[in-house]
Structure 1
Amino acid sequence: MLKKSIAFLFILSSSLSFAQSPVQKLTQSFNAFLEDRQTKYAITSICVLDAKTGKQLFAKNENTGLATASTLKTITSATAFSVLGKDFQYQTVVGYSGSVNAEGTLKGDIIILGGGDPTLGSWRYAHSKESFILNQWVTAIKAAGIKKIEGKVIGDDRLWGTQTTPDGWIWQDLGNYYGAGSSALSWRENQFDVKLHPGNTVSVLRTVPDMPYLTIINELKPGAAGSGDHAYAYLPPFSSTAYLRGTWATDIQKQGIALALPDPAFEAAFRLQDTLAKAGIKVSEAPVTARQLSAAHLPVPEIGQKISTVSSPALAEIVFWLNKKSLNLYAEHLLRTIAWKSGVAATAANGAAAEVKFWAARGMDKNAMNIIDGSGLSPATRVTTSAMASILFQVQKEDWFPDFYKSLPEYNGMKLKSGTINDVSAFAGYYTAENGAKYVIVININNYSGTGINPKLFKVLDALK
């Protein structure tokens, strides 16, 4: 009998030693990750909280500020929900200056007054699509009795000033769709396509839509088969010349690349004037923006008669796509809107300062959040994983949290916002285990070597499963 009892106790103690807790497993998996050759010259930070209590379960380097990449969008969108409200909408107004005579001639200008809407002309929403908006405006112009315009179509982008991109963005990003600047009058997510044909020489076929006012200088080189897309556009804000540089694989199946619109307000005015011409309404002068008129020291007309107001989707719908597809433009618009609605100039710097102030008032150390932009595209943005995890814990009690949670993509069976810029990979979000345990997770690695680091990060997080 004694021998049986001793054997039972031995088996029990052995089984208990192998039944490790998630925290123990996480410790082991994280330490193993640090031994990987890809992490030799990197710094990795992790912070895991109990999502129910906020207790820190496991953390390493959690108070070291690291480049966040797009995980910053969790903070930007959470701040926007808090400051603006989930039902917030942008407004874009169309009207005219001057007067309409008995023959239906407008002696004045059609003015599109930008209100900061990042979705205007976007294909993601039924009532924001380019064709829908243009038809709505043309219908309103016709309803106002206007048959001819002796004047201009003006894209009024003055509300947010002339700096479209945050300080800290890098030159290589600016001309590409993910580096599109924000404008008070944004249009079609501030991007357009360039169709390319691979071969021994890379040919530019066309732009979509046609952009006769833009010159494209093609310096692309053919890349080796299998090398993929390494094409970049160098197109600064407000420029009329784009340089295409890099390589385009000879066997690539992609049809082309997406570029950033250099002047969204001009593109909106240009498209409206083109649509008016197709509808038989002639405009005597070329389209222009308020910025261009101001730069030329010319007066900028004000709207005397409003004829159409376009409301954006609600903030909850904007945040859904912001996080789901990691839309930098939407994040930058929200950051500037946070500044605007806080009563200061709508700049990225003011938005970032307002964001830090907001969370500092809720217990965060402001020095843990060195925020430069809204999207995380700037490598100069630095936030600790501890601060980000604390914010993700706090927002769970908000009435808008279900919309925030729904916006997060799913990776590795977890609700996580990803982030990737050069040699940076990060994930931030939530996980509910099969036993009901809930976790807040932030993991971030900067300056790793090689490629394909994400599966190894997921292996670390698998310890919670």
Structure 2
Amino acid sequence: MRGARCRGIGCIAGTHQISIPCCKGSMARNVAWCIAGIVCIVQLWAQPQPAPQRKNDSLRHREATAVVRSPIRELQADLDALLKNRELAAAHIGICILSTETGEYLFRFNDGKAFIPASLLKLFTTAAALELLGPDFRFTTRVYLDGRIRQGGDFEGNIIIRGSGDPTWSESFGTPPDSVFAVWIRALDSLGITTIKGNIIADDSYFDAVRYGPGWMWDDFVMPYSPPVSALAANDNCVQLLIRPGADVGDPATVSVLNGNGMIKIVNDVRTTAIDHTPELIPYRDFGSSTIELHGTIPLPTNTSEGGLNLSVPVENPAAYVAALFRDALDRHRIRVRGSVMTATDWGEPILYSRLPVLAEYTSIPLRQILTVMNRTSHNLCAEMLLKTIAKENSGSGSFAAGTEYVSSVLQRNGLPSEELSMSDGSGLSRLNLCTPSLVARLLWHLWRSRFRNDVLSSLPRPGEPGTLRTRMIGTLAERSVAAKTGTLNNVSNLAGYVTTRDGEVLSVVIMTNHLLVPESVARNLQDLICMRLASLTRR
């Protein structure tokens, strides 16, 4: 057709592209071109096509593992999910998890923020005591004679007890005070002394006269966990009271002082209630007073019990308490004391110990064993006495302030940032104490790599064993994998220590929760779940 144009015919056969151009001219020539093109296409289609390339095994493996499993990322995702607990939305939470082997941080959450550590502070006291006193350090308390022995067994003069900061004269440490006094009484017996015509003087001047830490709560002073701190201590500086119900509902209860008679005065306002009532005892004491007011109720006894309750309350003057307990022990042994019981401050005259003979001395268990009791039971008085002993042994000043300075120096010496710690006491009772989870984790990392590893590890509470973790994580993988210190105050619940993973890797773990508006059990549950997850961790 004149003037007509036709579009090229194109096709793809295999990898070949064939173009059949348009042409002008005779019909015969066009037909020839078309036939030739068709023949070419048929020939190409007739050629054998290459088989599809089979992917080799290595390529398929690479594609299948394009998303590599990361145990640490899975761990972090799981911990993030635990932190979304709505009950803890208002709480201040900080977490730091660090590998003791590699120094790698596995998880961090608010770990640079400041938290109230509560009894986690005992870890810092532990570190300083081990480094500055040594795990084999022992306390020695000496008794001096200031007078003369006369014929007939009379001793004319004073017996002086010189305290050295020993916190172990209590059932908490398996050393009741009477076992200490027995050593001294045997020495008196060996000299034939049957009467003391003088005073029993207790000298606690090894420490300063400040008995309560900065930032302690005044309403805690009547509680057994915050007794006054002194260089002489017995029965954790507490007297034991036995409260029994009256004969009928409404009758006043009876209160007996089981040890340290005369050290406190009791004002009894406890009433007897019906059998099915819950007992409630509320002690109260004005600051500096030796008078204890007891309020509350106690139910009538059942057929199977006498219904008595024991209550521990702190004494106001620990040194005088020790002297009174020793006098009572002498009386039971029929050694009469004709003088008074007093402190060195009451005596008021300088005591020249270098000129006085030593009657007897008592040496404590080693520090490593003391730390075990302190950390497992969270023994506050012990921690405070250790803090002041650290200062006294190294500077001559047995004070809270000097002790905290030495703890800071230990941190600095070991490359730990002391600026992340504000320390006011040794036990963690003070609300002025602050530290970061990161610092606690790094302290644990340092202790794990130090020569004190075994001493620290053996001192920490464990699930199912006597101590503050006795009832936690029982029957889980974490039960045999956790060794950690607890820290508790009102609205504060913390946990810090070591968790061993399924691979045997030891992690330094710190979980701090402050500003709790829910029961402490909610925070403890979070801590337990984190420890259980870490105990199941494997990097394989």
Tell me whether the two structures share a fold, i.e. TM-score over 0.5: yes
In the other structure, the counterpart of 2:193 is 146
1:80 aligned onto 2:129: yes
Moved more, 342-351 or 367-376: 342-351
Shift of residue 2, structure 1, vs aligned partner: 6.9
Shift of residue 134, structure 1, vs aligned partner: 1.7
1:137 aligned onto 2:184: yes
SS of 2:397 mapped into structure 1? coil
| Structure 2 CA distance for aligned equivalents of residues 224 and 51 of structure 1 | 57
In the other structure, the counterpart of 2:81 is 32
| Structure 2 CA distance for aligned equivalents of residues 427 and 24 of structure 1 | 23
In the other structure, the counterpart of 2:527 is 457
**TM-score calculated relative to the size of structure 2:** 0.77
**In structure 2, which of residues 465, 471, 488 is the aligned counterpart of residue 420 of structure 1?**
488
SS of 2:398 mapped into structure 1? coil
In the other structure, the counterpart of 2:208 is 161
Shift of residue 117, structure 1, vs aligned partner: 0.3
| Structure 1 CA distance for aligned equivalents of residues 139 and 156 of structure 2 | 29
1:49 aligned onto 2:119: no
1:244 and 1:24, CA in 2 relative to 1: closer, same or farther beyond 3 A?
Answer: farther
Moved more, 169-178 or 139-148: 139-148
1:250 and 1:391, CA in 2 relative to 1: closer, same or farther beyond 3 A?
Answer: farther
Moved more, 304-313 or 134-143: 134-143
Unmatched 5+ stretches in structure 1: none
SS of 1:118 mapped into structure 2? coil
The code of the aligned residue for 1:391 comes to L
1:251 and 1:274, CA in 2 relative to 1: closer, same or farther beyond 3 A?
Answer: closer
The code of the aligned residue for 1:52 comes to E
| Structure 1 CA distance for aligned equivalents of residues 105 and 167 of structure 2 | 37
**In structure 2, which of residues 223, 234, 238 is the aligned counterpart of residue 191 of structure 1?**
238
Q: Deviations over 1:312-351 (max 9, x none)?
A: 1100010010111111111111111111122141111211
| Structure 1 CA distance for aligned equivalents of residues 86 and 424 of structure 2 | 31
In the other structure, the counterpart of 2:21 is none
1:272 aligned onto 2:331: no
SS of 2:395 mapped into structure 1? coil
Q: How does 1:23-422 map to 2 (within 5 A)?
A: 23-120=72-169, 122-125=170-173, 128-197=175-244, 203-209=253-259, 211-219=261-269, 231-235=281-285, 239-245=289-295, 255-293=309-347, 298-299=348-349, 301-303=351-353, 304-411=356-463, 412=473, 413=478, 414-422=482-490
| Structure 2 CA distance for aligned equivalents of residues 11 and 234 of structure 1 | 73
Shift of residue 181, structure 1, vs aligned partner: 2.1
SS of 1:160 mapped into structure 2? coil
Contact 2:145–2:358 (Cα < 8 Å) also in 1: yes
1:419 and 1:140, CA in 2 relative to 1: closer, same or farther beyond 3 A?
Answer: same
Contact 2:195–2:337 (Cα < 8 Å) also in 1: yes
1:247 and 1:395, CA in 2 relative to 1: closer, same or farther beyond 3 A?
Answer: farther
1:345 and 1:245, CA in 2 relative to 1: closer, same or farther beyond 3 A?
Answer: farther
| Structure 1 CA distance for aligned equivalents of residues 111 and 143 of structure 2 | 49
In the other structure, the counterpart of 2:513 is 445
Report which of the two structures shows the higher radius of gyration computed on alpha carbons: 2
Moved more, 211-220 or 301-310: 211-220
SS of 1:145 mapped into structure 2? coil
| Structure 1 CA distance for aligned equivalents of residues 214 and 130 of structure 2 | 24
SS of 1:47 mapped into structure 2? strand
Contact 2:388–2:403 (Cα < 8 Å) also in 1: yes
| Structure 1 CA distance for aligned equivalents of residues 153 and 223 of structure 2 | 42
Shift of residue 371, structure 1, vs aligned partner: 0.7
| Structure 1 CA distance for aligned equivalents of residues 232 and 213 of structure 2 | 17
| Structure 2 CA distance for aligned equivalents of residues 192 and 33 of structure 1 | 44
Q: How does 1:15-26 map to 2 (within 5 A)?
A: 19-21=69-71, 23-26=72-75
Shift of residue 24, structure 1, vs aligned partner: 2.5
Q: Deviations over 1:364-409 (max 9, x none)?
A: 2222000111111112110111111111101123223212101111
The code of the aligned residue for 2:289 comes to S
| Structure 1 CA distance for aligned equivalents of residues 429 and 195 of structure 2 | 45
Contact 1:26–1:461 (Cα < 8 Å) also in 2: no
The code of the aligned residue for 1:370 comes to S
The code of the aligned residue for 1:53 comes to T
Contact 1:118–1:333 (Cα < 8 Å) also in 2: yes
SS of 1:341 mapped into structure 2? helix
The code of the aligned residue for 1:396 comes to W
The code of the aligned residue for 2:216 comes to W
**TM-score calculated relative to the size of structure 1:** 0.89
| Structure 2 CA distance for aligned equivalents of residues 77 and 154 of structure 1 | 32
1:275 and 1:302, CA in 2 relative to 1: closer, same or farther beyond 3 A?
Answer: farther
SS of 2:102 mapped into structure 1? coil
1:170 and 1:27, CA in 2 relative to 1: closer, same or farther beyond 3 A?
Answer: same
1:32 and 1:133, CA in 2 relative to 1: closer, same or farther beyond 3 A?
Answer: same
1:130 and 1:425, CA in 2 relative to 1: closer, same or farther beyond 3 A?
Answer: same
Shift of residue 56, structure 1, vs aligned partner: 1.8
In the other structure, the counterpart of 1:433 is 501
| Structure 2 CA distance for aligned equivalents of residues 226 and 25 of structure 1 | 51
| Structure 1 CA distance for aligned equivalents of residues 273 and 111 of structure 2 | 41
In the other structure, the counterpart of 2:50 is none
Contact 1:109–1:301 (Cα < 8 Å) also in 2: no
SS of 1:159 mapped into structure 2? coil
Moved more, 56-65 or 241-250: 241-250
SS of 2:171 mapped into structure 1? coil
| Structure 2 CA distance for aligned equivalents of residues 279 and 132 of structure 1 | 13
What CA RMSD, in Å, does the superposition of the two structures yield over aligned residues?
Answer: 3.1
| Structure 2 CA distance for aligned equivalents of residues 226 and 427 of structure 1 | 37
Shift of residue 174, structure 1, vs aligned partner: 1.4
The code of the aligned residue for 1:123 comes to E
SS of 1:324 mapped into structure 2? helix
Shift of residue 230, structure 1, vs aligned partner: 6.0
